[in-house]
A and B are shown apart, each in its own frame.
Chain A
Amino acid sequence: MTEINEQKVTGDFSMYFGPAHPGSGNFSIKCEMRGERVLKATADPGYLHRGFEKLMEYREPMQNAVLSDRVCVLEPLQWNLVHAEAVDYLMEYEVPERAKYIRVILAELSRIQSHFIWYAAMSLGTGFMTGFNIAIGYRDYILDVLNLITGGRVYPAGYICPGGVRKDLPEKAENKILELLPKIDYMRKFALKQNPAWLARFKEIGTLTKEEAIKFGAVGPILRGCGVESDVRRDDPYEIYDELEFDVPVMDDGDAYARFTVGMQEIEESMKIITQSIDRLPKGEVKTPNLKPRVQFQKAEGEIYIRNELSRGEGAFYMVATGQKTPYRVKIRGPSFTHMIPIIEHLLTDVAYADVPAIYWSMYQCPADVDR
């Protein structure tokens, strides 16, 4: 017997979490292991590097609007919005009031469906398949509405374009959105139900303190889960967010459960924003007059750093224009960049390997915007 036991004593070895792991996304983490414990983790991004920043230097703004969807699968409409705002500023477009409301409604719908994916991914990571199925199912109701409005289920293809939106809302779209809200609310309540298995997997796991979060550059629900009240929509308002009323949910614990709860509470705020915007939705144009699909970028000169609150936190576009047809330089700052490299490396020191998926998914990761 003793012989067998001795053979079982394992030394140090390294193990990859992803990229072939179901649901890890196109991302991998190399874990240095001792037995069951992770001693040190190294993030290994790059599986989705498509070079968008360089690609955008070769394309015109309207084509870039189409490209900006692809920055992240979870929230294409919000990336559309960041890009459109950067071009709007450089081109000095006056965006019509109605377009601003439509932009906000769509961005919030996009946030809700993204949070559903978060719940789905967390369930998948911890083996709770029911949660995964139900969240993806409810997300589909939102996708149906997005398909009705933008013409694509996931990718809107630059629906939020420089100078406004590409088409006005179709008939009865407002009603369809309002009909969605009870379904969203059902799903939100389902996700927030106190479930002992869920608590055991996520409570006091991957705790990040407030100071660490700020130093490592955490944003969005991750930062708010650590007790910092910061929301770009409120601190640095864009579009019509300064006229709307909503709260910023904050939790002090800083663990995986707190982050997730903050995210789910945000759905309620998003629903408030949608109801308010639909109530006030003005009539009128949705595009800058004379806007052609071929936006002339020639006269634009200057630079701008536009920040937006995406569902996963602060996303930003830095755009430099020098009067050419195409932007001179584009820099995209994805929210997951800091979450997935410095923070995850910090959190995955001396934890059990079984907790790796829980921590990993609680970071609300999207490898697509880490690599761009």
Chain B
Amino acid sequence: MKLGIVIEVVKNVFTKPMTVLFPFEKIEIPERNRGEHEFNIDTCISCGACARICPNLAIEMVEVPSELREKYPKTYPQVDLGKCCFCALCEDTCPKESIKLTTNFYFATFDKDDTILYPVKAE
């Protein structure tokens, strides 16, 4: 019994720990991970399917800022990550694969407005 404990201790000294040293070492995130959205405005056809299926009403179809309106005249999805449950239904339903969920999961923020993903940023 006592020897068992000693063996266990010795083994544990030489095995790799379960955790990693976070900011320096990172765990590999699988490709399927449902993280922050990536939106490609050039392929989007403004069908609104993503906004209709979103269970949390996190997607709103909005117009782009006025200086870009000539190039992008329609309405485009704007995602509020604060409401999103990361279900990826928008990704599944998009006919053009314009909206995708990526492996980025670092969203912690102090400002509520930072959680909104605009379809395109004004320069």
Contact = CB atoms under 8 A, between A and B. Distances in A.
Contacts of B87: 66, 157-158
A167 B32 contact: yes
Given A140-B18, A293-B53, A66 B32 contact: no
B101 to A, nearest CB: 8
Given A292-B93, A294-B53, A147 B33 contact: yes
Nearest to A153: B33
A160 to B, nearest CB: 13
Contacts of A147: 29-30, 32-33
B89 A148 contact: no
A63 B88 contact: no
Contacts of A170: 30-32
6 contacts: A151-B32, A151-B33, A151-B101, A157-B86, A293-B92, A293-B93
B30 A66 contact: no
Contacts of A157: 34, 85-88
Interface of A: 59, 62-63, 66-67, 137, 140, 144, 147-152, 157-158, 166-167, 170, 292-294
B82 interface: no
A293 B32 contact: no
Given A66-B87, A144-B27, 5 more contacts: A62-B89, A63-B53, A66-B55, A148-B32, A152-B33
B120 to A, nearest CB: 25
A144 B29 CA distance: 9
B89 A66 contact: yes
B34 A152 contact: yes
B89 to A, nearest CB: 5
A293 B30 contact: no
A258 to B, nearest CB: 24
Contacts of A150: 32
Nearest to B8: A190
Interface of B: 18, 27, 29-34, 52-53, 55, 85-89, 92-93, 101
B84 to A, nearest CB: 11
- Nearest first, the 10 A-B pairs at minimum CB distance are A63-B55, A151-B32, A157-B87, A293-B93, A66-B87, A148-B30, A293-B92, A151-B34, A137-B18, A151-B33
A152 B89 CA distance: 14
Contacts of A148: 30, 32
Contacts of B32: 147-151, 167, 170
A294 B55 CA distance: 11
Nearest to A149: B32
B12 to A, nearest CB: 10
A157 B31 CA distance: 16
A285 to B, nearest CB: 16
Nearest to A133: B18
A137 B55 CA distance: 33
Contacts of A140: 18
Contacts of B52: 294
A67 B87 CA distance: 9
A147 B88 CA distance: 14
Contacts of B92: 166, 293
Contacts of B33: 147, 151-152
A294 B32 CA distance: 21
Contacts of A63: 53, 55, 89
Given A167-B32, A170-B30, A152 B86 contact: yes
A152 B88 CA distance: 11
A135 to B, nearest CB: 12
A315 B29 CA distance: 32
Nearest to A145: B30
A66 B91 CA distance: 14
Contacts of A152: 33-34, 86
A140 B53 CA distance: 32
Nearest to B4: A193
A168 to B, nearest CB: 11
Contacts of A144: 27
A10 B34 CA distance: 56
A49 to B, nearest CB: 19
B93 A151 contact: no
A66 B93 contact: no
Contact of A151 (B27, B30, B53, B85): B30
Contacts of B89: 62-63, 66, 158, 293
A108 to B, nearest CB: 20
Nearest to B55: A63
